[in-house]
Every structure is written in C-alpha cells, then in structure tokens.
C-alpha cells in the first residue's frame, strides 16, 4: 500500500470510530445528568402521572404513552397511504410521470417541521380536523377513546397523530416506492406467466419481494414520529395529564422537554427534564433494535444468497 | 390420485396419437413502439412435440413466443396484430382473458427467476395459489409430482422450506419449470432456458425437455443450434422478424431449402 493511501485509511478509520464514541458520549452525558431524577423517583418516574414543578414531583407516564400513541396513530394512517401511493407510482403510472411525482413527494420530506406545525395550528386543525373531531365526539363519545367531558379544541392527541402522519408520509412512501422499483421485472413477468392478474402480481411478486423495504419504511417513519418535537408541541395541547381519550390535550416526551426545559428551575427539575430525554433515547433504541431483529426474522432461510 | 393421473395420461396419450396442431399462427405482426419486430408470421405447431426456434440475436425469437402467451402486450408501447389460434380459438379475440391463456400456455425464462421471497414449495405452488386453490392434500400432491417431472424432487425434498433463491442456477431453472407445470398448461414456452447455465445443468434441462413432450407441447427458443438438433422434432429458423424456414429438425439441419438457412447453420453469419 502506498504511504498516502495508508494515511487515508487511518484518517477514515478515525472518522468511523468516532461514531460509536459519539453514541457512548450521548448515553453517558445524558445518563449522568438524569441520574438524580432516577434516584429520587425510582421506577415511579416512568409509572407515575404527576408533573408538578412547585411540589417537585416529576413523573412521565403520560408522556411515554403520548409519545407511543401519537406515533402509532401516525403510522396507522401513514402506512396504508404510503403503500398505496408507492404502488401507484411504481406500478400504474408511466415512469417519467412517476419520477416527477416521486421527486415532489421527496420535496415534501424537506419541509421544516415548524412549517408543518404552523400549518397544522393555523389551518389544518381548525378548519379540517376540528369539525371531524367534533362530529366524532358528538356521535361516538360512548367509546372511551373518543370521550370528552366538555368541549374540545382540536389541539389534542388525535390531531397531532394526523399531522405526524402527513409528516412521515413522504419518507415512508419514497422508501416504499424505491423498494418496489427495485423488484426485478423478471419476477413480475414470472407471476404474469403463471396466470396472475395485475393485483396478484402486485401482492405476491412486488409487495412480497419488497416487504423488507416496507418494514424499513415503517421503522424509519416510527422513529421520526417518536422524536418529532416542534409540530407536536404546536398541536398536541401540552396537557400534563393522562387521558384515555384521543380528543383530550396531551403531551409527548419531546414536547415535554421543549415546554419545560426553559422553565426548569432547580437541580431536580432540570435532571427530570433530561431524564425524560434519556427515556426517549432509550425508547428509540429499543424500537430500532426490535426493528433489526424483525427484519432478520423476515428473511427466508437461504435467501441471503441472492 | 391414480385415477386422475390415468385419465390425464389417457387424454395426453390420445393427443400424442393424434399429434395434430395445437397452435396455429396466422399473419402475426408485432411492434415495440415504431419498431416492427415480427413480420407476417405464419406457423403451425404440433402438439406433444418439441419445436425449436433458432436464429441470430435480435431476430424476434423471444418476441414471437411472448406473443403466444400474450406476455408481449405487457411491455409499454408494444402492439400485436394477427391471429394465434390455440385449439382453434384466437387468443387475441375480444373477451378472451389473458390470464386464462397464460395458465394454458406456461413459460420458462432465460434467466432463472424463482420468487426469492418464497420457499421452494411456495414457488412451485404459486400459480395454483393465484387461482385460489386451497386443498392442502391436492397441493402436496402437485408439489411432489411437478418436482418429480422437473427431475428436482430428490435434490430438494429436504429443502422445501428454503428460499427458492438458495438453489443452484440449474436447480432454480428446473424449479421454474416445475412452477410452470403446476398450473397444468398444455403448452410450455421456453425462452433460451439454458443460456445462463453450465454444460451439466444444460444437459439435465435438455433431457427434461425431451421427457416433457410426452405430456406437453414444448416450444423452445435457442441460439444454440446443437441444442435445437438434440431436443427438437421441428425447427423454425427466424431472421429479421420473419420465419425463413420451418421443417422437421433433421431435414432443416441436413438439407435446408433456403440458402439463408444453410448459411446460418453452417456458421457463415449469425
């Protein structure tokens, strides 16, 4: 190996090993600062529902639930829409038009989240979601998930889930579209030659082959939804309480941090906000780790030889 | 099972006794966009025979057989005119369901293309699942009989749950043949089935092709003339989108009528 190539290799190795180091640093720094809160509240930090700065009680169960539920709503809405859009773009519309529409969808992914938040706050929630939610409340309030004791504002868990769905749809659908376009046309032909109809070709040959790509888009979308802060903070209503109803204002870990950090006074309050961040980090890690295991399980034995 | 098989054998036996034409092509023209690739093809294909289509690259061999099971029309801008009669019925008539035609006329492709996301077993049964078959026992019977017909059962009987992509190239191609046979086609089209395989795997596929004509009609596209002379009863020579000559294989190779054919088979061009 030439000398300068050797240096290049050392240089790149140093860069690459910086990444795990950085990750360890995150954990240590955030973990250290949140230690105080964990020591004081123990397991009740995760399981209790009170966040009361004057009395110095800090517990994040509603926020953990809020994070998971709002992301789950987003995923539930976004996944079928994304798959449908990706199928349309890859299987039904001509390639040039598909590339054009695909790049527009990808542009949507580049819109800053504060823009989505503001659009949700000023337009989408008051004029579109609020009437729908009011209708749900009037007619379906016997369902605990849609119950409400008094009037609703539209700024709540359901609304932020819907806005999150719109925010993660571009990345999910473009990952799905890429993985559908990656399906070899020989497999589509193989299915057609067996007498499959177009919908069977799509279901078995295309989606069947690309299901790992779909799974990857789910985890990517879920990951983004979990950590999304700005738009959620603007729409979720920021209530420090736990509620079964999706129509009640709520809070996520990310929005809690955004709302509380500036106002946190005193060691224990600051440590608790940081501990909320640590919790979010751990949740993201668990989801990511589970994703890897699931993706590996999905692979059929022997197919790694492709 | 035995009874069904006997009936089938009898039916196929009668056909083979008759050995009449199963496909008749009349005035077939095909285009990709403005590119006129098949020019007025007329040919009659006999049942329970192997018919080889030979010719230089780009002469329209593949396009021709893709017109026989209506696969050609799936390519954007592709167009077909003329008639293809399968047992006397034009497959391009209005009201004919192309998926039905593709079930009766199966196809094996140049590059082995098993579904990598499906197991060996699911690959073989894919076509039957498309047509909604759920009977477990029947499926298991079809699985075994098709793999046996494709000379593959002994090699994969312990690997039925592995991915179709885990097999060797030759095994994958035989898996694709088993998959095509599972929907019980009358005709099997093969588009250069050995061009991606090594000589041993090629020999196996050739042996298989010859054994298949007892029950099926086989049309095989090849640019390998030795292969055509080894496996085919009839051979058609195509050049620039036309069928130049079509005859018994021995006749075509030993005593061709056309000068063009002779020049091609003696290697003067191609």
Chain A partners within 8 Å of B113 (Cβ): 184, 186-187, 189-190
When CB atoms are compared, the residue of A193, A208, A302 closest to B115 is: A208
Chain B partners within 8 Å of A91 (Cβ): none
The predicted pLDDT at position A67 comes to 96
Mean residue pLDDT across chain B: 90
Mean residue pLDDT across chain A: 91
CB-CB contact of B197 with B185 (8 Å): no
Within 10 A of A32 (CB to CB), how many other CB atoms are there? 12
Query: Using one digit for the tens of pLDDT, what is the confidence trace for A224-254?
Result: 999 999 999 999 999 988 888 899 999 999 9
User: Residue A302: pLDDT band by 50, 70, 90 thresholds?
Assistant: low
Query: Using one digit for the tens of pLDDT, what is the confidence trace for A73-117?
Result: 999 999 999 999 999 999 998 888 999 999 999 899 899 999 999
In SS3 terms, chain B reads as CHHHHHHHHHHHHHHHHHCCEEEEEEEEEEEECCEEEEEEEEEEEECCCEEEEECCCCCCHHHHHHHHCCCHHHCCCEEEEEEEEECCEECCCCCCCHHHHHHHEEEECCCCCCCCCCEHHHHHHHHHHHCCCCCHHHHHHHHHHHHHHCCCHHHHCCCCCCEHHHCCHHHHHHHHHHHHHHCCCCEEEEECCCCCCCHHHHHHHHHHHHHHCCCCEEEEECCCHHHHHHHCCEEEEEECCEEEEEEEHHHHHHCCCCHHHHHHHCCCCC
- How many angstroms away from the CA of B22 is the closest CA of chain A? 19
The predicted pLDDT at position B134 comes to 84
When CB atoms are compared, the residue of B109, B130, B159 closest to A195 is: B130
What is the enclosing helix (H) or strand (E) of A51? strand A51-52
- How many angstroms away from the CA of A175 is the closest CA of chain B? 19
Q: Taking CB atoms and an 8 Å limit, are B127 and A209 in contact across chains?
A: no
- Provide the whole-model pTM: 0.85
Nearest residue of chain A to residue B98 (CA atoms): A195
Chain B partners within 8 Å of A302 (Cβ): 159, 162-163, 165-166
- How many angstroms away from the CA of A89 is the closest CA of chain B? 15
When CB atoms are compared, the residue of A195, A208, A302 closest to B127 is: A195
* Alpha carbons B7 and A30: distance in angstroms, whole number: 76
When CB atoms are compared, the residue of B109, B119, B131 closest to A190 is: B109
CATH class (in words) of the domain with range A32-173+217-300: mainly alpha
Q: Is the ipTM of this complex over 0.85?
A: yes
**Sequence-separated contacts (24+) of B130-137 with Cβ below 8 Å:** B130/A191, B130/A194, B130/A195, B130/A196, B130/A197, B130/A200, B130/A204, B131/A195, B131/B103, B131/B183
Handedness of CA B140, B142, B145, B151 (dihedral sign): negative
Mean pLDDT of A125-151: 87
- How many angstroms away from the CA of A209 is the closest CA of chain B? 5
Q: Of B85 and B267, which is predicted with more confidence? A: B85
Which residues have a Cβ under 8 Å from the Cβ of B157 and sit 6 or more positions away? B147
How far from chain centre, in Å, is Cα B205?
A: 12
Query: Using one digit for the tens of pLDDT, what is the confidence trace for A140-159?
Result: 888 888 887 777 889 999 99
Asked if A187 reaches chain B (Cβ–Cβ under 8 Å), the answer is: yes
User: Residue B133: pLDDT band by 50, 70, 90 thresholds?
Assistant: confident
The predicted pLDDT at position A242 comes to 86
The predicted pLDDT at position B12 comes to 46
- How many angstroms away from the CA of B106 is the closest CA of chain A? 6
Q: Quick check: A211 pLDDT over 60?
A: yes
Q: Taking CB atoms and an 8 Å limit, are B162 and A301 in contact across chains?
A: yes
Asked if B159 reaches chain A (Cβ–Cβ under 8 Å), the answer is: yes
Mean pLDDT of B148-169: 92
Chain B partners within 8 Å of A209 (Cβ): 115-117
Q: Quick check: B39 pLDDT over 90?
A: yes
Asked if B69 reaches chain A (Cβ–Cβ under 8 Å), the answer is: yes
What is the enclosing helix (H) or strand (E) of A58? strand A57-58
Spell out the domain ranges in chain B.
Answer: 23-265
Chain B partners within 8 Å of A184 (Cβ): 113
Instruction: Tell the burial category of A96 from Cβ atoms under 10 Å away from its Cβ (0-12, 13-18, 19+).
Output: exposed
CA distances from B182 to A118, B125, B130, B150 (A): 58, 7, 11, 10
CATH class (in words) of the domain with range B23-265: alpha beta
Q: Quick check: B16 pLDDT over 80?
A: no
Asked if A300 reaches chain B (Cβ–Cβ under 8 Å), the answer is: yes
Single out the residue of B54, B64, B58, B84 nearest to residue B236, CA to CA: B54
The predicted pLDDT at position B1 comes to 43
- How many angstroms away from the CA of A86 is the closest CA of chain B? 19
Q: Taking CB atoms and an 8 Å limit, are B130 and A191 in contact across chains?
A: yes
Asked if B183 reaches chain A (Cβ–Cβ under 8 Å), the answer is: yes
CB-CB contact of B52 with B235 (8 Å): yes
Q: Quick check: B11 pLDDT over 70?
A: no
Provide the 3-class DSSP secondary structure of residue A52. Answer: strand
Bridge partner residues of B43 (DSSP): B25
The pairing of beta strand B187-191 with beta strand B217-221: parallel
When CB atoms are compared, the residue of B106, B131, B161 closest to A193 is: B106
Provide the 3-class DSSP secondary structure of residue A57. Answer: strand
Asked if A305 reaches chain B (Cβ–Cβ under 8 Å), the answer is: yes
Query: Using one digit for the tens of pLDDT, what is the confidence trace for B207-238?
Result: 999 999 999 999 999 988 999 999 999 999 99
Tell me which of A288-302, B90-104, B129-143, B186-200 is least confident.
A288-302
Chain B partners within 8 Å of A194 (Cβ): 102-103, 106, 126-127, 130, 179-180, 183
User: Residue A305: pLDDT band by 50, 70, 90 thresholds?
Assistant: very low
Within 10 A of A224 (CB to CB), how many other CB atoms are there? 18
Q: Taking CB atoms and an 8 Å limit, are B117 and A208 in contact across chains?
A: yes
Nearest residue of chain B to residue A184 (CA atoms): B113
Asked if A298 reaches chain B (Cβ–Cβ under 8 Å), the answer is: no
The predicted pLDDT at position B14 comes to 43
Asked if B118 reaches chain A (Cβ–Cβ under 8 Å), the answer is: yes
Residue A37, sorted as left (phi over 0), alpha (psi -120 to 50) or beta, turns out to be alpha
């Amino acid at each position: 190996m030439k000398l300068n190539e050797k240096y290049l290799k050392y240089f790149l190795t140093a860069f690459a090993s910086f990444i795990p180091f950085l990750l360890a640093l995150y954990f240590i720094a955030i973990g250290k600062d949140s230690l105080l809160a964990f020591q004081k509240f123990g397991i009740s930090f995760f399981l209790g529902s009170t966040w009361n700065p004057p009395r110095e009680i800090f517990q994040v169960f509603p926020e953990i639930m809020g994070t998971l539920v709002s992301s789950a709503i987003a995923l539930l809405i976004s996944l079928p829409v994304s798959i449908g859009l990706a199928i349309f773009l890859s299987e039904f519309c001509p390639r040039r038009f598909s590339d054009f529409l695909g790049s527009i969808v990808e542009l949507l992914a580049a819109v800053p989240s504060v823009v989505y938040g503001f659009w949700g706050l000023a337009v989408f929630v008051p004029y579109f979601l609020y009437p729908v939610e009011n209708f749900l409340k009037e007619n379906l309030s016997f369902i605990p998930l849609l119950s409400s004791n008094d009037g609703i504002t539209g700024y709540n868990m359901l609304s932020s889930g819907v806005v999150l769905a719109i925010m993660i749809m571009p990345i999910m659908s473009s990952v799905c579209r890429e993985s559908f376009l990656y399906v070899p046309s020989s497999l589509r032909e193989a299915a057609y030659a067996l007498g499959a109809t177009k919908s069977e070709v799509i279901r078995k040959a295309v989606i069947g082959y690309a299901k790992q790509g779909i799974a990857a888009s789910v985890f990517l979308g879920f990951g983004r939804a979990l950590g999304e802060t700005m738009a959620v903070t603007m729409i979720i209503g920021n209530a420090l309480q736990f509620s079964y109803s999706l129509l009640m204002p709520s809070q996520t870990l990310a929005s809690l941090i955004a709302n509380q950090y500036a106002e946190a006074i005193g060691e224990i309050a600051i440590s608790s906000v940081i501990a909320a961040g640590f919790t979010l980090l751990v949740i993201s890690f668990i989801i990511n780790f589970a994703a890897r295991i699931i993706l590996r399980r999905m692979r059929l034995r022997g197919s790694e030889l492709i | 099972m035995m009874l069904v098989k006997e009936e089938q054998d009898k039916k196929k036996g009668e056909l083979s006794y008759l050995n009449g034409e199963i496909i008749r092509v009349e005035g077939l023209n095909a285009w990709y966009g403005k590119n006129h690739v098949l020019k007025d093809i007329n040919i009659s294909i006999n049942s329970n025979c192997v018919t080889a289509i030979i010719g230089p690259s780009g002469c329209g061999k593949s396009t021709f057989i893709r017109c026989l099971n209506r696969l050609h029309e799936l390519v954007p801008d592709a167009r077909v005119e003329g008639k293809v009669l399968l047992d006397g019925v034009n497959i391009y008539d209005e009201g004919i369901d192309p998926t039905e035609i593709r079930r009766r006329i199966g196809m094996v492709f140049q590059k082995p293309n098993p579904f990598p996301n499906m197991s060996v077993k699911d690959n073989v049964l894919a076509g039957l699942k498309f047509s909604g078959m759920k009977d477990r026992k029947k499926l298991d019977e079809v699985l075994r009989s098709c793999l046996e017909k494709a000379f593959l059962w002994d090699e994969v009987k312990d690997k039925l749950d592995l991915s179709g992509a885990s097999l060797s190239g030759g095994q994958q191609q035989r898996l694709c043949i088993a998959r095509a046979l599972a929907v019980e086609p009358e005709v099997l089209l093969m588009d250069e089935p050995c061009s991606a395989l090594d000589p041993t795997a090629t020999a196996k596929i050739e042996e298989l092709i010859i054994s298949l004509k007892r029950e099926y009609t086989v049309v095989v596209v090849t640019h390998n003339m030795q292969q055509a002379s080894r496996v085919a009863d009839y051979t058609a020579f195509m050049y620039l989108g036309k069928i130049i000559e079509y005859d018994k294989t021995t006749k075509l190779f030993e005593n061709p009528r056309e000068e063009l054919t002779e020049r091609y088979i003696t290697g003067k061009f191609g």
